Amino acid sequence: MSSRLRRHAAPLSLLLTLGLALAGCQKESPQASGQSRTDMPSSNELRPGDLTYVRELAAKHDGVVALDLSDEAQYRFLRSRVAAAGKTPEKYPQFFAMLQSVRERHAARKHGVSAQAAPEVPKDHMIGKVIVGPDGRTFEATAFSTVQGGADYSFLDVVVWDEFQKQQVSDYGWGEVYADGRKLWARATGVLPADPNALLFVDSASIVSFNGEEQVVFKSLTVAPSPGCEIIHPQDLAPVARPDNIVTICLQRNNGDCDYPMVAIQQVQIPLQGTMTFPFPVTSINNTVDTYAKLVEESGGPRQMAFGTFFSWLQINPADPRQVRWSIPQNQGVFTGILFRPYEDVDLFMSIDVTMNRGGRPTRVVKQFSSSPTFTPGMACVPKIQISYSCLAEGTQVKLAGGKSAPIESIAKGTRVVTDGSGQALRVADTTVGTESIPMVHLRDEAGHDLLLTGTHPVMTPDQGVVWAEELKVGNRVVTDSGVSTLVKADREMFKGAVHNLKLDRTSLNERREAKGSTLYANGFLVGDVSMQRAYEFKDRAAVTAELLARLPSKWQVDYQNSLKTGRLPQGP
């Protein structure tokens, strides 16, 4: 069962339903999200001028400022934000103890006392996108934060204002997560101004607690709402009967489901081509922190382009100066630091900061796209991206119809392969071939079956169902061509040869089968084909309450339990 990003119950009918499925190869923590019609300027926490003061601080630092909570105005500003999310000292004592600790640390810093800082980890806080709904009248704005490896606690919010920062034009959106924070979203919705060329001002506050250190950041941008996308690449291009609207990037593999050619290095390569259209002619593209292309993988943390900046590829279209365009070939669309490991969906973020000629008046504005899911049907931008690889070592014997076996590398399309203990055979619809540059899993059972396969290859078990090869341990039971057997070896080792897999054609099946793919016998072990491998490479593994509490620092457990009691967090599957 996948964890769900759920909307809290709220007293106002203007709240919209919110649901984002979160899938991953690591266990995800339940995340909470909410929207309220709180009028931020009228908050009891604020005094006149507090909001303007904090905005001016951010403007002095290119729209981003680390809040100083020893400053009473900045502290009141933050208290007003979290109050809109329903935070009270009575129900969330650690949250407010954390804020008080930050205040004391910030005050000590002003007096020349510095505390030992926690190790720095890659993290980011972004305005995700502001896009126009299918009706042309409403919009959706998102903020996103990420911490590589997660955090003890993360909080995030987002609010949208008119261009002149006088009127709040959206509800207040927020999100929080305990014992995670690799990917956290907040979402706000509202009605567009009557002027079709009007700009919007978006701001967002982020609080991250990691290893006893906290970071409190406020970010703001003037943005141009996007009525749609003009993205040429990446796209779902594989010629399949049922397009899944998923961009599949195959690492060290080739098969019919790959949307782009095989990548033979340990980094993700994605071709990027498209345009962003602004309301007025663009006079310059600004090389600032708000011009970027970033990837965020399953483990969190932002990844930048390796071969030059995204800015260096951007051009103003001479035929239509309202457009900024880019065309980055796949071998140049390399992103740094991507771990060669199984992923969940990889999120692509693109943002461009420009100066427009707005009726003779220079106006700076930012526009964003991302491949992250939208919360409103019909507002999707870039298809989601998945990284795929899993295979069997060359020489693996696959059981064929008629009782014989053949090395997997010799099997061609059309060959009939035994798919289960009943002897049912299916034709091979496609084959995969590639290499593997990280250790593979070496399995051996008590009956002498021996198999080398990649870590995320699905293996059938009688008591755990479908599991990844890397999850198996000595003593686990597996399904083989001679029945249920017990593993006597489950090690990791390097393999220099080619790796292969098969995709079986299920159309001839008359009986009900596992919907996520088919199986085959590999050196006697019953394992999944390409379809099952792909389905389970991104399998959902929601963290249940007991597991989360086990890894959540004790000081946060009262807050977490109160979140469960008030329905602010799902309680697991």
State how far Cα 183 lies from the chain centre: 6
Q: How many CA atoms lie within 13 A of 395 on its CB side?
A: 9
The helix (H) or strand (E) run that includes residue 460 is strand 458-461
Predicted confidence pLDDT, tens digits, the chain (573 residues): 222 223 332 222 222 222 222 222 233 445 566 666 667 776 777 888 899 999 999 999 888 999 999 999 999 999 999 999 888 999 899 999 999 999 999 998 877 655 444 445 567 888 877 878 777 888 888 898 888 778 889 999 999 999 999 999 999 999 998 888 788 889 999 999 888 888 999 999 999 988 778 889 999 999 988 655 577 677 666 655 555 667 776 665 555 567 766 555 556 678 888 888 898 999 999 999 899 988 887 667 777 776 678 999 999 999 999 999 999 888 787 776 654 455 456 778 888 999 999 989 999 999 888 776 555 544 456 667 766 655 778 889 999 998 899 999 899 888 999 988 888 889 988 887 766 767 889 999 999 999 999 887 889 999 888 888 888 999 999 999 999 999 999 999 988 887 888 888 877 665 444 444 588 999 999 998 877 766 665 554 444 455 566 667 778 878 877 776 665 554 433
Model pLDDT, residue 430: 81
Model pLDDT, residue 461: 92
Residues in the chain: 573
Model pLDDT, residue 30: 52
Model pLDDT, residue 244: 61
Residue pair 198/184 in contact (Cβ under 8 Å)? The answer is no
Helix axes 72-84, 93-110, angle to 10 degrees: 160
Residue pair 316/322 in contact (Cβ under 8 Å)? The answer is no
CA 441 – CA 454 distance, rounded (Å): 6
- 135-to-140, 227, 228, 229, 276 alpha-carbon distances in Å: 12, 10, 12, 16, 20
Phi, psi of 79 (to 5 degrees): -60, -35
The tokens of 43 are what? 């908050």
The tokens of 462 are what? 């009688």
CATH architecture of 392-537: Beta Complex (2.170)
CA 571 – CA 568 distance, rounded (Å): 9
Beta strands in 8-137 (DSSP E): 19-22, 31-36, 64-66, 123-132
Residue pair 69/534 in contact (Cβ under 8 Å)? The answer is no
Model pLDDT, residue 116: 45
Q: What is the model's pTM?
A: 0.71
Model pLDDT, residue 518: 84
Model pLDDT, residue 536: 61
> What's at 159, amino acid-wise?
V
> What's at 395, amino acid-wise?
G
Q: What share of the chain is helix, strand, coil (3-state, %, to 5)?
A: 15, 40, 45
Model pLDDT, residue 558: 80
Model pLDDT, residue 507: 76
The tokens of 135 are what? 């009706």
Residue pair 278/321 in contact (Cβ under 8 Å)? The answer is no
CA 175 – CA 429 distance, rounded (Å): 44
Q: What is the DSSP annotation of 134-179?
A: TTSSEEEEEEEEEETT--SEEEEEEEEEETTS-SB-B-EEEEEEES
Report the first-to-last Cα separation within the chain, whole angstroms: 6
List CB contacts of 322: < 8 A, sequence separation 6 or more: 277, 278, 279, 280, 281, 282
Model pLDDT, residue 14: 23
Q: Where are the domains of the chain?
A: 3-127+136-220, 230-388, 392-537
The C-alpha angle 110, 209, 117, rounded to 5 degrees, equals 45
The tokens of 549 are what? 């509490």
Which residues on adjacent β-strands are paired with residue 156?
175, 206
CA 377 – CA 260 distance, rounded (Å): 27
